[in-house]
Amino acid sequence: MTISLTTFAPEDETGWVHLGQRAWVTEWLKPGTRCSILPAPDAGPEAALSMPWVSPRARQAALVVTDTDLLPPEADQDRGELSANGIRSLVVHAQVADGVMYGSFAVGSSDVGPWPAEVVADFRLLHAALTSRISLEQARRSLADAVAAGAQTREAQQHFFASVGHELRTPLTAIVGYTEMLVDEAGQQESDPFAEAVGRDGAVILRACEQLMAVVEDLLSAGRTMGAEEIRQSVDVAAAVEDVLHWHRATARSAEVELDCAVPHGPTVWAHAAGFRQVLSNLIGNAVVHNPGGTVTVQTQALRGESGDPRLRIIVRDTGDGLTDEQLRDVFDPFVRYARPGVKGTGLGLSLSRSLAERDGGTVDATSTPGRGSAFWVELPVREADTPA
């Protein structure tokens, strides 16, 4: 009985022969048998059997050979390789799962003749068990590699955003400082036309710097949230909504916006807590600043996903001007804004919110009617254990 591995090395290499970079091979022999394919421990990849006729057929299903002399002429190389190792009959099947070949499993004999049906059945059962176990091990190793790669990526991302913050903030701060100084000095030279132009154009520069600084802060905030080492957990929706509404109450009072919470206590979502609150803050903040004198209502709706998994939609409704179908189609693109003159913003909030929600297996979307308001929502999965009976 022979096992070969072509994807990764065995954890315990005792009894295995490594054929260069191609394969690891081991075998179990019946006492007194005259057949063996195991090469010397120092053998190279050329010592491995190539089996050009048998190999492709063994990938499709278990191949049963009762007598190597009965193989067709095009299998001469296979017959020669088997005969050189004392094998006259065999059962062989490649270990393939999800299109990946992990190796092969074979039973050979120096005798010819039919293989007992129960032996072939046991072979298929053992082959399936081995292939499943090897596939599981490969998946475990791939997952470990992915986790390690994710940690490295997160660290690189944090270094990147830290560098971006420093490299952009420093020159922007200098530009703002010198421009403010020029504008102040120009204001003291009221009769000088050049000073008047400096004061006028300096104000434009300051507004542009303020906008660029807001973009930088949005990007850095999203980067910190996305790169945090926080794990997904069951997040109390009512508590999160109450926190975010509290953050926006002062702005709402200034805009004469009424905040209404219709979120019941109890529902949870499976998400990163900080990211979830950031999404809620973006949706509620937008509803407040684009809806002066109106009402903003937060409510929830229990749903089922396409596969029947429980989900929860947190909806932020406003009574503002609303959006057209064309505007609604583009509103989640970066730097796209539909706001009245004088309303500050970067056009990044909705795009970043969608990215944060998608990271947790959710989404952000909206419906809107011009003149009647909009409903923006974040929809996230709910763990079955947290779903009310």
Nearest by Cα to 316 from 303, 305, 301: 301
**What are the distances in angstroms from CA 70 to CA 35, 51, 105?**
19, 15, 22
> What is the model's pLDDT at position 223?
64
Q: Binning pLDDT at 50, 70 and 90, where does residue 24 land? A: confident
Residue-wise pLDDT tens digits, 100-159: 888 899 999 999 999 999 999 999 999 999 999 888 888 888 877 877 776 676 667 666
Q: What is the mean pLDDT of residues 36-44?
A: 76
Domain covering 2-115, topology: Beta-Lactamase (3.30.450)
Residue 288 has pLDDT above 60, yes or no: yes
Q: Identify which has the larger pLDDT, 302 or 349.
A: 302
> What is the model's pLDDT at position 227?
58
CB 225 within 8 A of CB 278: yes
Residue-wise pLDDT tens digits, 323-366: 998 888 888 888 777 766 666 666 778 888 888 898 888 999 99
Q: Identify which has the larger pLDDT, 124 or 214.
A: 124
2-115 against 231-389: fold identical: no
Domain positions in the chain are 2-115, 139-229, 231-389
Domain covering 231-389, topology: Heat Shock Protein 90 (3.30.565)
Q: Binning pLDDT at 50, 70 and 90, where does residue 385 land? A: low
